[in-house]
Structure 1
Protein backbone atom coordinates (compact mmCIF):
# COMPACT_ATOMS: atom_id res chain seq x y z
CA UNK A 1 0.00 0.00 0.00
CA UNK A 2 1.25 3.48 -0.87
CA UNK A 3 -0.18 6.96 -0.34
CA UNK A 4 -0.68 9.83 -2.79
CA UNK A 5 -1.81 12.98 -1.04
CA UNK A 6 -5.08 12.04 0.68
CA UNK A 7 -5.53 8.89 -1.43
CA UNK A 8 -4.67 5.28 -0.64
CA UNK A 9 -3.70 2.57 -3.13
CA UNK A 10 -4.84 -1.01 -2.46
CA UNK A 11 -4.89 -4.29 -4.37
CA UNK A 12 -6.13 -7.81 -3.80
CA UNK A 13 -8.75 -6.77 -1.25
CA UNK A 14 -11.74 -8.92 -2.22
CA UNK A 15 -11.71 -10.43 1.29
CA UNK A 16 -12.51 -6.94 2.64
CA UNK A 17 -16.31 -6.47 2.37
CA UNK A 18 -16.21 -2.68 2.72
CA UNK A 19 -13.57 -2.23 0.01
CA UNK A 20 -15.42 -4.66 -2.27
CA UNK A 21 -18.64 -2.70 -1.82
CA UNK A 22 -16.76 0.50 -2.63
CA UNK A 23 -15.50 -1.01 -5.91
CA UNK A 24 -19.03 -2.17 -6.76
CA UNK A 25 -20.18 1.39 -6.10
CA UNK A 26 -17.61 2.80 -8.52
CA UNK A 27 -18.72 0.44 -11.29
CA UNK A 28 -22.40 1.15 -10.61
CA UNK A 29 -21.84 4.91 -10.70
CA UNK A 30 -19.60 4.98 -13.78
CA UNK A 31 -21.14 2.21 -15.91
CA UNK A 32 -24.56 1.59 -14.37
CA UNK A 33 -23.65 -2.09 -13.88
CA UNK A 34 -24.49 -3.97 -10.69
CA UNK A 35 -21.64 -6.46 -10.25
CA UNK A 36 -23.20 -7.77 -7.03
CA UNK A 37 -25.41 -9.89 -9.32
CA UNK A 38 -22.57 -12.39 -9.12
CA UNK A 39 -23.31 -13.00 -5.44
CA UNK A 40 -26.34 -15.10 -6.38
CA UNK A 41 -24.56 -16.82 -9.28
CA UNK A 42 -21.81 -18.44 -7.24
CA UNK A 43 -19.59 -15.45 -6.48
CA UNK A 44 -17.03 -13.39 -8.40
CA UNK A 45 -14.05 -14.82 -10.25
CA UNK A 46 -11.69 -16.14 -7.55
CA UNK A 47 -8.68 -15.26 -9.71
CA UNK A 48 -9.62 -11.58 -9.85
CA UNK A 49 -7.26 -9.00 -8.32
CA UNK A 50 -8.32 -5.33 -8.21
CA UNK A 51 -5.83 -2.46 -8.29
CA UNK A 52 -7.49 0.65 -6.92
CA UNK A 53 -7.23 4.12 -5.44
CA UNK A 54 -9.49 5.02 -2.50
CA UNK A 55 -10.22 8.44 -1.05
CA UNK A 56 -10.21 9.38 2.62
CA UNK A 57 -13.89 8.45 2.99
CA UNK A 58 -13.27 4.93 1.68
CA UNK A 59 -14.79 5.52 -1.76
CA UNK A 60 -13.12 3.72 -4.64
CA UNK A 61 -12.20 6.39 -7.18
CA UNK A 62 -10.05 4.50 -9.72
CA UNK A 63 -9.67 0.82 -10.59
CA UNK A 64 -8.56 -1.85 -13.02
CA UNK A 65 -8.88 -5.55 -12.21
CA UNK A 66 -6.79 -8.44 -13.54
CA UNK A 67 -7.99 -12.03 -13.77
CA UNK A 68 -6.84 -15.33 -15.21
CA UNK A 69 -8.05 -15.86 -18.79
CA UNK A 70 -6.52 -19.07 -20.17
CA UNK A 71 -6.84 -19.11 -23.95
CA UNK A 72 -6.51 -21.51 -26.83
CA UNK A 73 -4.97 -19.75 -29.84
CA UNK A 74 -4.44 -21.72 -33.04
CA UNK A 75 -4.40 -24.96 -31.07
CA UNK A 76 -1.89 -23.73 -28.48
CA UNK A 77 -2.77 -23.29 -24.80
CA UNK A 78 -1.75 -19.77 -23.76
CA UNK A 79 -1.54 -18.65 -20.15
CA UNK A 80 -3.24 -15.27 -20.40
CA UNK A 81 -4.80 -12.61 -18.21
CA UNK A 82 -7.67 -10.23 -18.81
CA UNK A 83 -8.14 -6.67 -17.56
CA UNK A 84 -11.61 -5.40 -16.73
CA UNK A 85 -13.54 -2.89 -14.61
CA UNK A 86 -11.32 0.02 -15.63
CA UNK A 87 -12.87 3.22 -14.30
CA UNK A 88 -12.11 6.60 -12.73
CA UNK A 89 -14.67 8.85 -11.10
CA UNK A 90 -15.19 12.05 -13.12
CA UNK A 91 -13.95 14.34 -10.36
CA UNK A 92 -10.60 12.54 -10.18
CA UNK A 93 -9.76 12.27 -13.87
CA UNK A 94 -6.67 13.91 -15.29
CA UNK A 95 -4.58 13.10 -12.20
CA UNK A 96 -2.77 10.04 -13.61
CA UNK A 97 -4.67 7.63 -11.35
CA UNK A 98 -5.67 5.35 -14.20
CA UNK A 99 -2.08 5.19 -15.35
CA UNK A 100 -1.10 4.16 -11.83
CA UNK A 101 -3.55 1.27 -11.65
CA UNK A 102 -2.78 0.12 -15.21
CA UNK A 103 0.95 0.03 -14.53
CA UNK A 104 0.37 -1.86 -11.28
CA UNK A 105 -1.88 -4.41 -12.99
CA UNK A 106 0.53 -4.97 -15.87
CA UNK A 107 3.46 -5.30 -13.47
CA UNK A 108 1.47 -8.02 -11.71
CA UNK A 109 0.72 -9.79 -15.01
CA UNK A 110 4.40 -9.68 -16.00
CA UNK A 111 5.52 -10.93 -12.59
CA UNK A 112 3.05 -13.82 -12.82
CA UNK A 113 4.44 -14.79 -16.23
CA UNK A 114 1.29 -14.32 -18.31
CA UNK A 115 2.17 -14.68 -21.98
CA UNK A 116 -0.75 -12.51 -23.09
CA UNK A 117 -3.01 -9.83 -21.63
CA UNK A 118 -6.38 -8.94 -23.16
CA UNK A 119 -8.91 -6.18 -22.65
CA UNK A 120 -11.99 -4.74 -24.35
CA UNK A 121 -12.38 -1.00 -24.79
CA UNK A 122 -14.16 1.70 -26.77
CA UNK A 123 -11.05 3.92 -26.50
CA UNK A 124 -8.31 1.77 -28.09
CA UNK A 125 -5.91 4.70 -28.58
CA UNK A 126 -5.52 4.88 -24.78
CA UNK A 127 -3.80 1.50 -24.57
CA UNK A 128 -1.14 1.60 -27.28
CA UNK A 129 1.31 3.14 -24.80
CA UNK A 130 1.01 -0.01 -22.69
CA UNK A 131 1.89 -2.37 -25.52
CA UNK A 132 -1.64 -3.35 -26.56
CA UNK A 133 -2.64 -3.76 -30.19
CA UNK A 134 -6.20 -3.82 -31.57
CA UNK A 135 -7.37 -7.06 -33.17
CA UNK A 136 -10.30 -7.24 -35.58
CA UNK A 137 -13.08 -9.63 -34.63
CA UNK A 138 -15.43 -11.40 -37.02
CA UNK A 139 -18.83 -13.05 -36.96
CA UNK A 140 -19.61 -15.94 -39.26
CA UNK A 141 -22.72 -16.07 -41.44
CA UNK A 142 -24.18 -18.71 -43.74
CA UNK A 143 -27.04 -21.02 -44.55
CA UNK A 144 -28.42 -23.24 -41.83
CA UNK A 145 -27.18 -26.82 -42.29
CA UNK A 146 -29.69 -29.64 -42.41
CA UNK A 147 -29.56 -33.34 -41.68
CA UNK A 148 -28.85 -33.01 -37.97
CA UNK A 149 -29.75 -35.45 -35.23
CA UNK A 150 -32.09 -34.09 -32.56
CA UNK A 151 -31.43 -34.60 -28.86
CA UNK A 152 -33.67 -33.78 -25.88
CA UNK A 153 -33.59 -30.09 -24.95
CA UNK A 154 -34.28 -28.38 -21.63
CA UNK A 155 -34.28 -24.60 -21.06
CA UNK A 156 -32.11 -23.54 -18.12
CA UNK A 157 -33.17 -20.87 -15.64
CA UNK A 158 -30.69 -18.67 -13.77
CA UNK A 159 -33.30 -18.37 -11.06
CA UNK A 160 -32.74 -22.03 -10.26
CA UNK A 161 -29.85 -22.91 -7.96
CA UNK A 162 -29.72 -26.39 -9.48
CA UNK A 163 -29.43 -24.99 -13.01
CA UNK A 164 -26.70 -22.55 -11.91
CA UNK A 165 -24.77 -25.45 -10.36
CA UNK A 166 -25.19 -27.52 -13.55
CA UNK A 167 -24.07 -24.64 -15.74
CA UNK A 168 -21.02 -23.94 -13.57
CA UNK A 169 -20.02 -27.61 -13.75
CA UNK A 170 -20.27 -27.63 -17.54
CA UNK A 171 -18.40 -24.33 -17.82
CA UNK A 172 -15.60 -25.46 -15.53
CA UNK A 173 -15.12 -28.66 -17.56
CA UNK A 174 -15.79 -27.16 -20.97
CA UNK A 175 -14.01 -27.84 -24.21
CA UNK A 176 -12.93 -24.49 -25.74
CA UNK A 177 -15.56 -23.56 -28.29
CA UNK A 178 -12.93 -22.93 -30.99
CA UNK A 179 -9.43 -24.16 -31.65
CA UNK A 180 -8.63 -20.85 -33.35
CA UNK A 181 -9.33 -18.50 -30.43
CA UNK A 182 -11.37 -19.17 -27.30
CA UNK A 183 -11.19 -19.02 -23.51
CA UNK A 184 -10.45 -22.35 -21.89
CA UNK A 185 -12.30 -21.11 -18.82
CA UNK A 186 -14.38 -18.05 -18.06
CA UNK A 187 -17.23 -19.33 -15.95
CA UNK A 188 -18.10 -16.16 -14.05
CA UNK A 189 -18.32 -13.86 -17.06
CA UNK A 190 -20.56 -16.35 -18.93
CA UNK A 191 -22.98 -16.30 -16.00
CA UNK A 192 -22.76 -12.52 -15.55
CA UNK A 193 -23.32 -11.82 -19.25
CA UNK A 194 -26.29 -14.18 -19.30
CA UNK A 195 -27.85 -12.24 -16.44
CA UNK A 196 -27.37 -8.99 -18.39
CA UNK A 197 -28.77 -10.34 -21.68
CA UNK A 198 -32.48 -11.20 -21.23
CA UNK A 199 -32.89 -12.25 -24.88
CA UNK A 200 -30.31 -15.04 -24.59
CA UNK A 201 -31.64 -18.57 -24.21
CA UNK A 202 -29.66 -21.29 -22.47
CA UNK A 203 -30.62 -24.77 -23.67
CA UNK A 204 -29.21 -28.01 -22.35
CA UNK A 205 -28.87 -30.42 -25.29
CA UNK A 206 -28.80 -33.97 -24.06
CA UNK A 207 -26.73 -34.00 -20.89
CA UNK A 208 -23.39 -32.73 -22.14
CA UNK A 209 -23.65 -29.24 -23.60
CA UNK A 210 -25.46 -25.94 -23.04
CA UNK A 211 -25.87 -23.60 -25.97
CA UNK A 212 -26.37 -19.85 -25.61
CA UNK A 213 -28.47 -18.56 -28.50
CA UNK A 214 -31.09 -16.08 -29.61
CA UNK A 215 -33.19 -15.25 -32.65
CA UNK A 216 -32.30 -12.13 -34.64
CA UNK A 217 -35.00 -9.68 -35.71
CA UNK A 218 -34.73 -10.97 -39.29
CA UNK A 219 -35.36 -14.55 -38.15
CA UNK A 220 -31.75 -15.71 -38.27
CA UNK A 221 -30.41 -18.09 -35.63
CA UNK A 222 -27.56 -16.59 -33.59
CA UNK A 223 -25.24 -19.00 -31.79
CA UNK A 224 -23.36 -17.10 -29.08
CA UNK A 225 -21.47 -19.81 -27.17
CA UNK A 226 -21.39 -23.46 -26.11
CA UNK A 227 -20.47 -24.84 -22.70
CA UNK A 228 -19.77 -28.52 -22.42
CA UNK A 229 -17.26 -31.32 -22.57
CA UNK A 230 -17.98 -31.81 -26.28
CA UNK A 231 -18.98 -29.31 -28.97
CA UNK A 232 -22.05 -30.51 -30.90
CA UNK A 233 -22.31 -30.11 -34.66
CA UNK A 234 -24.24 -27.03 -35.73
CA UNK A 235 -26.65 -29.26 -37.67
CA UNK A 236 -27.41 -31.22 -34.50
CA UNK A 237 -27.93 -28.02 -32.51
CA UNK A 238 -30.45 -26.72 -35.03
CA UNK A 239 -32.28 -30.05 -35.20
CA UNK A 240 -32.52 -30.10 -31.41
CA UNK A 241 -33.80 -26.56 -30.74
CA UNK A 242 -36.06 -26.56 -33.83
CA UNK A 243 -35.62 -22.81 -34.40
CA UNK A 244 -36.75 -23.09 -38.01
CA UNK A 245 -34.12 -20.62 -39.23
CA UNK A 246 -32.66 -20.76 -42.72
CA UNK A 247 -29.72 -18.47 -41.94
CA UNK A 248 -27.18 -18.66 -39.11
CA UNK A 249 -24.79 -16.25 -37.43
CA UNK A 250 -22.07 -17.75 -35.22
CA UNK A 251 -20.30 -15.38 -32.83
CA UNK A 252 -17.03 -17.32 -32.61
CA UNK A 253 -14.79 -19.15 -35.07
CA UNK A 254 -16.87 -22.19 -36.15
CA UNK A 255 -14.01 -24.65 -36.71
CA UNK A 256 -15.52 -27.21 -34.31
CA UNK A 257 -19.09 -27.04 -35.63
CA UNK A 258 -18.57 -29.00 -38.89
CA UNK A 259 -19.89 -25.92 -40.71
CA UNK A 260 -18.29 -22.98 -42.45
CA UNK A 261 -19.63 -19.45 -42.79
CA UNK A 262 -18.48 -16.20 -44.31
CA UNK A 263 -16.33 -14.12 -41.96
CA UNK A 264 -17.89 -10.68 -41.48
CA UNK A 265 -15.96 -7.89 -39.76
CA UNK A 266 -17.52 -6.88 -36.45
CA UNK A 267 -18.68 -3.27 -36.47
CA UNK A 268 -19.29 -3.06 -32.71
CA UNK A 269 -18.04 -0.25 -30.48
CA UNK A 270 -15.85 -2.45 -28.28
CA UNK A 271 -12.36 -3.28 -29.56
CA UNK A 272 -10.38 -6.32 -28.44
CA UNK A 273 -6.83 -5.34 -27.48
CA UNK A 274 -4.05 -7.90 -27.05
CA UNK A 275 -0.63 -7.47 -25.43
CA UNK A 276 1.41 -10.46 -26.55
CA UNK A 277 4.24 -11.66 -28.78
CA UNK A 278 3.38 -11.56 -32.47
CA UNK A 279 4.17 -15.27 -32.76
CA UNK A 280 1.24 -16.07 -30.44
CA UNK A 281 -1.36 -13.91 -32.16
CA UNK A 282 -4.25 -15.68 -33.95
CA UNK A 283 -3.73 -16.01 -37.68
CA UNK A 284 -7.26 -16.46 -39.01
CA UNK A 285 -10.53 -14.58 -38.45
CA UNK A 286 -11.95 -15.10 -34.97
CA UNK A 287 -14.15 -13.56 -32.30
CA UNK A 288 -14.44 -13.59 -28.55
CA UNK A 289 -17.90 -14.94 -27.75
CA UNK A 290 -20.34 -12.33 -26.38
CA UNK A 291 -20.77 -14.61 -23.36
CA UNK A 292 -17.04 -14.28 -22.64
CA UNK A 293 -16.87 -10.50 -23.00
CA UNK A 294 -15.44 -8.64 -20.03
Structure 2
Protein backbone atom coordinates (compact mmCIF):
# COMPACT_ATOMS: atom_id res chain seq x y z
CA UNK A 1 0.00 0.00 0.00
CA UNK A 2 1.44 3.37 -1.06
CA UNK A 3 1.86 5.91 1.73
CA UNK A 4 0.01 9.10 0.76
CA UNK A 5 1.83 12.42 0.60
CA UNK A 6 0.91 15.36 2.78
CA UNK A 7 -0.67 18.42 1.17
CA UNK A 8 -0.06 21.94 2.51
CA UNK A 9 -3.00 24.31 3.01
CA UNK A 10 -2.38 28.03 3.42
CA UNK A 11 -4.64 31.06 3.84
CA UNK A 12 -5.25 31.45 0.10
CA UNK A 13 -6.87 28.07 -0.55
CA UNK A 14 -10.52 28.53 0.42
CA UNK A 15 -11.68 25.12 -0.82
CA UNK A 16 -9.11 23.19 1.20
CA UNK A 17 -9.71 25.47 4.18
CA UNK A 18 -13.34 24.33 4.10
CA UNK A 19 -12.20 20.68 3.97
CA UNK A 20 -9.94 21.35 6.97
CA UNK A 21 -12.85 22.91 8.87
CA UNK A 22 -14.92 19.77 8.15
CA UNK A 23 -12.11 17.60 9.53
CA UNK A 24 -11.60 19.36 12.88
CA UNK A 25 -14.86 18.47 14.71
CA UNK A 26 -14.51 14.83 13.62
CA UNK A 27 -11.37 14.59 15.78
CA UNK A 28 -11.94 17.34 18.37
CA UNK A 29 -15.65 17.25 19.13
CA UNK A 30 -16.07 20.70 20.64
CA UNK A 31 -13.67 22.55 18.32
CA UNK A 32 -14.59 24.49 15.17
CA UNK A 33 -12.51 26.73 12.92
CA UNK A 34 -15.30 28.01 10.64
CA UNK A 35 -16.03 31.30 12.39
CA UNK A 36 -12.32 32.06 12.81
CA UNK A 37 -11.81 31.50 9.09
CA UNK A 38 -14.87 33.63 8.26
CA UNK A 39 -13.31 36.45 10.30
CA UNK A 40 -10.25 36.28 8.02
CA UNK A 41 -7.93 35.32 10.88
CA UNK A 42 -6.17 32.51 9.00
CA UNK A 43 -3.10 34.31 7.67
CA UNK A 44 0.30 33.34 6.27
CA UNK A 45 1.58 32.32 9.72
CA UNK A 46 -0.81 29.35 9.86
CA UNK A 47 -0.34 26.24 7.69
CA UNK A 48 -2.14 22.90 7.75
CA UNK A 49 -0.39 19.75 6.54
CA UNK A 50 -3.06 17.22 5.63
CA UNK A 51 -3.70 13.88 4.01
CA UNK A 52 -6.63 13.95 1.59
CA UNK A 53 -8.95 11.13 0.60
CA UNK A 54 -11.20 12.07 -2.33
CA UNK A 55 -10.98 15.73 -1.33
CA UNK A 56 -11.69 15.05 2.33
CA UNK A 57 -9.10 15.86 5.02
CA UNK A 58 -8.51 12.66 6.99
CA UNK A 59 -5.33 13.57 8.91
CA UNK A 60 -3.75 16.87 9.89
CA UNK A 61 -0.90 18.61 11.70
CA UNK A 62 -1.14 22.40 11.73
CA UNK A 63 1.78 24.78 12.20
CA UNK A 64 1.61 28.32 13.59
CA UNK A 65 4.68 30.52 13.17
CA UNK A 66 5.37 32.16 16.55
CA UNK A 67 7.36 35.07 17.95
CA UNK A 68 8.38 33.34 21.15
CA UNK A 69 9.80 35.14 24.19
CA UNK A 70 12.30 33.05 26.14
CA UNK A 71 14.13 34.69 29.06
CA UNK A 72 13.74 38.14 27.48
CA UNK A 73 14.86 37.09 23.99
CA UNK A 74 12.68 36.88 20.90
CA UNK A 75 12.95 33.55 19.13
CA UNK A 76 11.14 32.62 15.93
CA UNK A 77 9.60 29.20 16.36
CA UNK A 78 6.49 27.17 15.64
CA UNK A 79 3.59 25.66 17.51
CA UNK A 80 1.74 22.56 16.35
CA UNK A 81 -1.99 22.09 16.75
CA UNK A 82 -5.05 20.15 15.58
CA UNK A 83 -2.91 17.02 15.18
CA UNK A 84 -4.94 13.91 14.52
CA UNK A 85 -6.68 11.50 12.20
CA UNK A 86 -10.38 10.85 11.59
CA UNK A 87 -11.59 7.57 13.17
CA UNK A 88 -12.18 5.83 9.84
CA UNK A 89 -8.52 6.20 8.80
CA UNK A 90 -6.66 5.44 12.02
CA UNK A 91 -4.04 2.72 12.18
CA UNK A 92 -2.60 3.57 8.75
CA UNK A 93 0.30 5.77 9.88
CA UNK A 94 -1.29 8.96 8.57
CA UNK A 95 -0.59 10.98 11.74
CA UNK A 96 3.09 10.20 11.25
CA UNK A 97 2.89 11.42 7.64
CA UNK A 98 1.45 14.81 8.58
CA UNK A 99 3.75 15.20 11.60
CA UNK A 100 6.80 14.60 9.46
CA UNK A 101 5.58 17.13 6.88
CA UNK A 102 4.89 19.73 9.57
CA UNK A 103 8.28 19.26 11.21
CA UNK A 104 10.04 19.43 7.85
CA UNK A 105 8.39 22.83 7.39
CA UNK A 106 9.72 23.92 10.82
CA UNK A 107 13.28 22.81 10.06
CA UNK A 108 15.65 23.26 12.99
CA UNK A 109 13.57 26.02 14.61
CA UNK A 110 12.12 25.58 18.10
CA UNK A 111 8.75 23.81 18.15
CA UNK A 112 6.21 23.43 20.94
CA UNK A 113 2.81 21.85 21.29
CA UNK A 114 0.18 21.12 23.88
CA UNK A 115 -1.35 17.66 24.05
CA UNK A 116 -3.98 15.85 26.07
CA UNK A 117 -3.13 12.95 28.35
CA UNK A 118 -4.34 10.34 25.84
CA UNK A 119 -1.43 10.91 23.42
CA UNK A 120 1.48 11.60 25.73
CA UNK A 121 3.48 8.70 24.29
CA UNK A 122 3.15 9.86 20.68
CA UNK A 123 5.20 13.06 20.55
CA UNK A 124 8.49 11.83 22.07
CA UNK A 125 8.83 9.67 18.91
CA UNK A 126 9.41 12.94 17.03
CA UNK A 127 12.01 14.35 19.37
CA UNK A 128 9.67 16.20 21.75
CA UNK A 129 10.33 16.42 25.48
CA UNK A 130 7.58 16.98 28.08
CA UNK A 131 7.89 20.04 30.30
CA UNK A 132 5.87 20.90 33.38
CA UNK A 133 3.70 24.00 33.49
CA UNK A 134 2.78 25.78 36.72
CA UNK A 135 -0.35 27.58 37.86
CA UNK A 136 0.21 31.04 39.38
CA UNK A 137 -1.96 32.96 41.79
CA UNK A 138 -2.04 35.31 44.75
CA UNK A 139 -4.37 36.15 47.60
CA UNK A 140 -6.11 39.46 46.96
CA UNK A 141 -9.27 40.79 48.54
CA UNK A 142 -11.34 43.23 46.49
CA UNK A 143 -14.92 44.44 46.05
CA UNK A 144 -16.53 45.63 42.81
CA UNK A 145 -16.18 49.37 42.34
CA UNK A 146 -15.89 52.17 39.83
CA UNK A 147 -17.07 52.09 36.24
CA UNK A 148 -17.01 48.45 35.03
CA UNK A 149 -14.43 47.84 32.33
CA UNK A 150 -16.38 47.56 29.07
CA UNK A 151 -16.47 44.29 27.14
CA UNK A 152 -14.99 44.34 23.65
CA UNK A 153 -16.45 42.03 21.00
CA UNK A 154 -13.92 40.30 18.77
CA UNK A 155 -16.70 39.61 16.29
CA UNK A 156 -16.11 43.25 15.27
CA UNK A 157 -13.32 43.70 12.74
CA UNK A 158 -12.02 46.92 14.29
CA UNK A 159 -11.66 45.20 17.68
CA UNK A 160 -9.70 42.36 16.08
CA UNK A 161 -7.46 44.91 14.35
CA UNK A 162 -6.93 46.69 17.65
CA UNK A 163 -5.95 43.46 19.34
CA UNK A 164 -3.44 42.70 16.58
CA UNK A 165 -1.90 46.16 17.01
CA UNK A 166 -1.62 45.89 20.80
CA UNK A 167 -0.23 42.37 20.55
CA UNK A 168 2.36 43.19 17.88
CA UNK A 169 3.55 46.51 19.30
CA UNK A 170 2.90 46.20 23.03
CA UNK A 171 4.55 44.31 25.84
CA UNK A 172 4.81 40.56 25.92
CA UNK A 173 2.73 39.45 28.89
CA UNK A 174 5.76 37.52 30.21
CA UNK A 175 9.45 37.55 29.37
CA UNK A 176 10.17 34.12 30.89
CA UNK A 177 8.37 31.94 28.35
CA UNK A 178 5.67 33.53 26.25
CA UNK A 179 4.88 35.07 22.90
CA UNK A 180 4.21 38.26 20.99
CA UNK A 181 2.00 38.65 17.95
CA UNK A 182 -0.43 35.91 18.99
CA UNK A 183 -3.62 37.96 18.59
CA UNK A 184 -4.97 35.59 15.93
CA UNK A 185 -4.61 32.68 18.33
CA UNK A 186 -6.46 34.64 21.00
CA UNK A 187 -9.20 35.49 18.48
CA UNK A 188 -9.67 31.78 17.78
CA UNK A 189 -10.64 31.27 21.43
CA UNK A 190 -13.17 34.08 21.11
CA UNK A 191 -14.51 32.72 17.81
CA UNK A 192 -15.13 29.34 19.41
CA UNK A 193 -16.57 30.83 22.64
CA UNK A 194 -13.71 29.33 24.69
CA UNK A 195 -12.34 32.67 25.94
CA UNK A 196 -13.15 34.81 28.91
CA UNK A 197 -14.57 38.25 28.06
CA UNK A 198 -12.13 40.76 26.59
CA UNK A 199 -12.28 43.85 28.84
CA UNK A 200 -10.88 47.33 28.16
CA UNK A 201 -9.12 48.90 31.13
CA UNK A 202 -8.03 51.85 29.02
CA UNK A 203 -7.41 52.55 25.34
CA UNK A 204 -4.03 50.79 25.34
CA UNK A 205 -4.73 48.02 27.88
CA UNK A 206 -7.07 45.10 27.22
CA UNK A 207 -7.42 41.94 29.31
CA UNK A 208 -9.18 38.60 29.02
CA UNK A 209 -10.63 38.15 32.50
CA UNK A 210 -13.63 36.92 34.52
CA UNK A 211 -14.58 35.81 38.02
CA UNK A 212 -15.35 32.27 39.13
CA UNK A 213 -16.20 31.34 42.72
CA UNK A 214 -14.51 34.34 44.29
CA UNK A 215 -11.34 34.17 42.16
CA UNK A 216 -10.48 36.58 39.35
CA UNK A 217 -8.89 34.74 36.43
CA UNK A 218 -6.74 36.94 34.18
CA UNK A 219 -5.84 34.90 31.10
CA UNK A 220 -3.88 37.53 29.15
CA UNK A 221 -3.00 41.22 29.09
CA UNK A 222 -2.46 43.22 25.92
CA UNK A 223 -0.91 46.58 26.77
CA UNK A 224 1.58 49.07 25.36
CA UNK A 225 3.25 49.68 28.72
CA UNK A 226 3.50 48.19 32.17
CA UNK A 227 1.08 49.50 34.83
CA UNK A 228 -0.19 48.53 38.26
CA UNK A 229 -3.09 46.12 37.87
CA UNK A 230 -4.31 46.36 41.44
CA UNK A 231 -6.28 49.64 41.22
CA UNK A 232 -8.14 48.27 38.18
CA UNK A 233 -9.25 44.99 39.78
CA UNK A 234 -12.57 46.41 41.15
CA UNK A 235 -13.57 47.30 37.57
CA UNK A 236 -13.08 43.69 36.42
CA UNK A 237 -15.21 41.97 39.06
CA UNK A 238 -18.94 41.72 39.73
CA UNK A 239 -18.60 40.02 43.13
CA UNK A 240 -16.08 40.08 45.99
CA UNK A 241 -12.88 38.14 45.36
CA UNK A 242 -10.21 36.68 47.60
CA UNK A 243 -7.64 35.64 44.96
CA UNK A 244 -6.29 36.36 41.50
CA UNK A 245 -5.05 33.59 39.20
CA UNK A 246 -3.08 34.07 35.99
CA UNK A 247 -3.01 32.29 32.63
CA UNK A 248 0.68 33.13 32.21
CA UNK A 249 3.82 33.65 34.27
CA UNK A 250 3.02 36.96 36.02
CA UNK A 251 6.53 38.03 37.00
CA UNK A 252 6.13 41.54 35.60
CA UNK A 253 2.45 42.14 36.43
CA UNK A 254 2.18 40.60 39.91
CA UNK A 255 5.65 39.80 41.29
CA UNK A 256 4.20 38.54 44.57
CA UNK A 257 2.28 35.74 42.84
CA UNK A 258 3.38 32.21 43.59
CA UNK A 259 2.86 28.71 42.29
CA UNK A 260 -0.53 27.37 43.35
CA UNK A 261 -0.47 24.07 41.47
CA UNK A 262 0.44 22.29 38.26
CA UNK A 263 -1.27 23.00 34.92
CA UNK A 264 -2.67 19.61 33.95
CA UNK A 265 -5.30 20.73 31.45
CA UNK A 266 -2.78 20.59 28.59
CA UNK A 267 0.63 18.96 28.59
CA UNK A 268 3.54 20.90 27.07
CA UNK A 269 6.08 19.27 24.75
CA UNK A 270 9.10 21.09 23.25
CA UNK A 271 11.62 20.32 20.51
CA UNK A 272 14.84 22.27 19.87
CA UNK A 273 13.82 24.66 22.64
CA UNK A 274 15.70 25.27 25.91
CA UNK A 275 13.38 26.69 28.54
CA UNK A 276 14.33 28.73 31.60
CA UNK A 277 14.76 26.93 34.92
CA UNK A 278 12.08 27.29 37.52
CA UNK A 279 8.29 27.39 37.20
CA UNK A 280 6.62 29.08 34.25
CA UNK A 281 3.39 28.97 32.27
CA UNK A 282 3.11 29.55 28.54
CA UNK A 283 0.17 31.99 28.08
CA UNK A 284 -3.09 30.11 27.65
CA UNK A 285 -4.29 32.55 24.96
CA UNK A 286 -1.22 31.80 22.84
CA UNK A 287 -1.76 28.03 22.76
CA UNK A 288 -2.97 26.35 19.58
2:225 is the alignment partner of 1:230: yes
Question: Residues of 1 paired with 2:104 and 2:125: CA distance?
Answer: 14
Q: Cα distance, 1:242 vs. partner?
A: 5.1
Where 1:125 maps in the other structure, the secondary structure is coil
Question: Residues of 1 paired with 2:207 and 2:60: CA distance?
Answer: 33
* From 47, 50, 55, the counterpart of 2:48: 50
Q: Cα distance, 1:249 vs. partner?
A: 0.9
* From 164, 167, 170, the counterpart of 1:168: 164
Q: Cα distance, 1:151 vs. partner?
A: 8.8
Question: Residues of 2 paired with 1:219 and 1:246: CA distance?
Answer: 6
CA deviation profile, 1:55-104 (whole Å, cap 9, x unmatched): 1x211111101121111111122221111111211121111111111111
**TM-score for both structures, normalised by structure 1:** 0.87
Partner of residue 111, structure 2 = 117
CA deviation profile, 1:17-61 (whole Å, cap 9, x unmatched): 222111111102221322011134332142112211111x21111
Question: Residues of 2 paired with 1:103 and 1:231: CA distance?
Answer: 41
Question: Residues of 2 paired with 1:250 and 1:269: CA distance?
Answer: 14
Question: Residues of 1 paired with 2:286 and 2:13: CA distance?
Answer: 27
Question: Residues of 1 paired with 2:190 and 2:231: CA distance?
Answer: 23
Partner of residue 154, structure 2 = 158
Q: Cα distance, 1:287 vs. partner?
A: 1.0
| Between 256-265 and 16-25, the greater mean CA deviation after superposition | 256-265
Q: Cα distance, 1:142 vs. partner?
A: 1.4
Gaps of 5+ in 1: none
CA deviation profile, 1:193-213 (whole Å, cap 9, x unmatched): 123346712111111110111
* From 182, 201, 217, the counterpart of 2:197: 201
Alignment of 1:1-294 (within 5 A): 4=2, 7=4, 9-32=6-29, 33-55=31-53, 57-110=54-107, 113-114=108-109, 116-122=110-116, 123-144=119-140, 153-197=149-193, 200-216=196-212, 218-241=213-236, 243=238, 244-277=240-273, 280-294=274-288
Are the counterparts in 1 of residues 132 and 263 from structure 2 also a CA contact under 8 Å?
no
Where 2:121 maps in the other structure, the secondary structure is helix
What is the aligned-residue RMSD (CA, Å)? Answer: 2.4
- How many equivalent pairs are there? 282
**TM-score for both structures, normalised by structure 2:** 0.89
Question: Residues of 2 paired with 1:153 and 1:24: CA distance?
Answer: 34
Are the counterparts in 1 of residues 141 and 241 from structure 2 also a CA contact under 8 Å?
no
